Structure 1
Amino acid sequence: MQMSHFISRIATVEIPVSNLDSSIDFYIKVLGVHIESKMEKTAMLSFHQKGVPTIYLVETEEIHPLSFTNTNSNAMHSVIDFYTPTLKDFYHWLKKNKVEIGPLNINEEGIGGFGFKDLDGNYLSACNIEHIGQ
């Protein structure tokens, strides 16, 4: 099978939420995103950064929180990792603002991350790891 050259980046990450307005407030406060558009049951949020995916919140009664367990290590994983160069400061800010967070995991080089949950229990994470091309 030949490799496709049609996709060059992630455009949007879609997240199920039970209450659109509360979730918009949470994502604006926690991630610093901006509302690009808002309909009755959906909202497009943006970081206003070129090449960075938008976040599409979709209000639904069918909430299955985003996460999975690594069956090799038993660690909980998020589907989305958000980048921050100030990992420890963000961790302490979330804790101070009563966001549900997991342990802060940082290696000897200062690289690491942690998980946190949105209002619907969607497991998100933050890291200070930059990959080639980012």
Structure 2
Amino acid sequence: MSHLFKRIDTVFLKVKNFDEAIDWYTDVLGLSVRFRDDKNGYAAIDIGETPLTLVRTEDHEQIEDEQKVWFNFFCPDIDRAHRHLVNQDVEVGQIYEEGNIKWFQFKDLEGNPLEVCHFQE
């Protein structure tokens, strides 16, 4: 561990439709809002120690390269997570497996590529 840094405090993700994005992350993924600042356009979504902070923006460009995922969600049951997202009509890719790691990609409401991974802890 670093003598200067204790942890990553948050991960930022730009969104155009701020309210809809918050609803999607809470309704579809089942996460909760840690804090919300409508005036400045920030909403921290609670996902363990490091929140995902949605940032309202007007100039968000979609990431064309689907392999360019900025972070992933760890889950204990990847098959259950995959089924849940499919049942929520989320654009979901197939589950890949390499060694003891499994993963798949999906897209949020605005097309941001996200990823889920699983491995034995």
TM category (shorter chain) comes to 0.7 to 0.9
Query: Do the aligned partners of 2:28 and 2:88 also contact (CA within 8 Å) in 1?
Result: no
Q: Distance in 1 between matches of 2:27 and 2:71?
A: 17
Q: Highest CA radius of gyration, 1 or 2?
A: 1
Q: How does 1:1-134 map onto structure 2 within 5 Å?
A: 5-40=3-38, 41-47=41-47, 49=48, 52-65=49-62, 68=65, 76-107=67-98, 109=100, 111-129=101-119
* Count of residue correspondences: 118
Q: After TM superposition, give the deviation of residue 130 of structure 1 in Å.
A: 5.8
TM-score, structure 1 as length reference: 0.76
The one-letter code matched in structure 2 to 1:36 is R
Cα-to-partner distance string for 1:13-54 (whole Å, 9 max, x where unaligned) = 01100111110111112332211221222211213x3xx211
**Partner Cα distance (1:108, 1:8) in 2:** 31
SS in 1 for 2:94: coil
Q: Compute the RMSD of aligned alpha carbons.
A: 2.1
Contact 1:67–1:78 (CA<8 Å) still a contact in 2? Answer: no
Contact 1:66 1:79 (C-alpha < 8 Å) held by counterparts: no
Structure 2 stretches lacking a partner, 5+ long: none
What percent identity do the matched residue pairs reach?
A: 31
List gaps (5 residues or longer) in structure 1. 70-75
Distance of 1:130 and 1:59 partners within structure 2: 36
2:73 is paired with a residue whose SS is: strand
Give 2:57's aligned amino acid: T
Normalised by the length of structure 2, the TM-score is 0.84
Name the CA distance, whole Å, in 2 between partners of 1:121 and 1:19.
Answer: 12
